[in-house]
Structure 1
Amino acid sequence: MSSPATVKSIAIPPGTAIHAAVSGAQFFDAYEVADRHPARTALQTWLDVVARTPRWTQQLMALRNRLVRLVGLKDLGQLHDTHPLASGRIPSDASSYRVGDRVGIFLIRHLSDTEVVLGQDDKHLDVQVSLSKHCRGDAPATLAVSTVVHIHNALGQAYMAVVTPFHRRIVRAMLQRLADHGQR
């Protein structure tokens, strides 16, 4: 059995589509873990990540959705929600999706085999999340989840002040679950 994969904090990977969004952002972070399935596309890996969303994360999202409606923010639903594609069909697999389709709480902004950028914008803040896959020579394959947030006003700043510690814990937990699942 291979050693357990460790999630580590990294800089947003240069050369990724999301890297261009960092300029002017008030918040950004990235985490990396070994990629146990490097042949899977970035979107398939994202779908694997959100399919393993811990129950406590789902409960936090439900609480978030109830509370933010009180201050005029969007109820986003859950990370793993399935929505009809632009064609009206329910997606059957990652290859069914196109730029502009909804995946859980996000819209696909960029889609390639090695990176998917998903986003959600409102009048308070714009959020982008990327899952990118990396193979560097003889080094083991890795995947990175990067987040970039552009804040527009005081409500957006207050929101980020509250959710940032949860965001960091959630991303780490989801990547760790994915890595641990890949060992089995």
Structure 2
Amino acid sequence: MAKIIKCELPTNSLLGKYPNQYIDAYQGTFISEKEVTVEQITLAFFYTSPQWINTLLKLRNFIVKAFGLKGSNVDVRYIKNSTVKVGQSFGLFKVFEMNQREIVLGEDDKHLNFRVSIYLEQIEKQSNLIISTTVNYHNTLGKIYFLLIKPFHKIVVKTMLIMMLKSFHTS
């Protein structure tokens, strides 16, 4: 099983300029005989997630509807062959910025804004993949909402990172 470690936000990450009251980052490593792009990794963020995470997101969408918060509906069957560009949305995740090594996704809502960075460092055949999250609360609802989902957030991010690593590891 892939080893996931808590780490710092990379110093040159695009995510560093976004305001936040919460930040975390997790890292894993994989080895691939083929070149892997940050776009491929970002698409895997969506299509490799296990069914229990998809079910959890559906439950979240149902609950937050009562509070007037944004929900999402992503059909992962079409994501694997998509292209990634600034302004494009994958359900609740809009692409805010991208460069050769990083893509920043997220959403702005009335209770909070969040950003997720998919950051890829490659040294020959070894790749370090870092998923970082920032949250900026707008009000008490945002603080309460994130307090409730924070334990799930950590489990979901680590699980998704493991699934992404497995999908690209070749040796």
Alignment of 1:89-128 (within 5 A): 92-94=81-83, 97-128=84-115
Return the alpha-carbon distance in structure 1 between the equivalents of residues 118 and 100 of structure 2.
10
Equivalent position SS for 1:113? coil
Distance apart, 1:82 and its partner CA: 5.2
Does 1:159 find its partner at 2:145?
yes
- Larger relative contact order (CA 8 Å, sep ≥ 6): 2
Return the alpha-carbon distance in structure 2 between the equivalents of residues 116 and 82 of structure 1.
19
Matched with 1:9 is 6
**Deviation string, structure 1 residues 123-144 (Cα, Å, up to 9, x no partner):** 11001001011136x8942010
Whether contact under 8 Å (1:81, 1:105) holds in the other structure is no
Q: 1:81 to 1:109 in 2, by over 3 A?
A: farther
Instruction: Among all aligned residue pairs of Structure 1 and Structure 2, give the percentage whose two residues are the same amino acid.
Output: 29
Matched with 1:47 is 43
Does 1:20 find its partner at 2:7?
no
* Structure with a larger share of its residues in strand: 2
Whether contact under 8 Å (1:48, 1:178) holds in the other structure is yes
Return the alpha-carbon distance in structure 1 between the equivalents of residues 85 and 6 of structure 2.
29
Does 1:34 find its partner at 2:29?
yes
Alignment of 1:109-148 (within 5 A): 109-135=96-122, 140-148=126-134
Whether contact under 8 Å (1:80, 1:103) holds in the other structure is no
Matched with 1:86 is none
Matched with 1:71 is 67
Q: 1:171 to 1:150 in 2, by over 3 A?
A: same
Distance apart, 1:105 and its partner CA: 1.9
TM-score in terms of structure 1 length: 0.82
Aligned length: 169
Equivalent position SS for 2:31? coil
Provide structure 1 residue ranges, at least 5 long, that are not aligned to the other structure: 84-90
Return the alpha-carbon distance in structure 1 between the equivalents of residues 53 and 14 of structure 2.
27
Matched with 1:87 is none
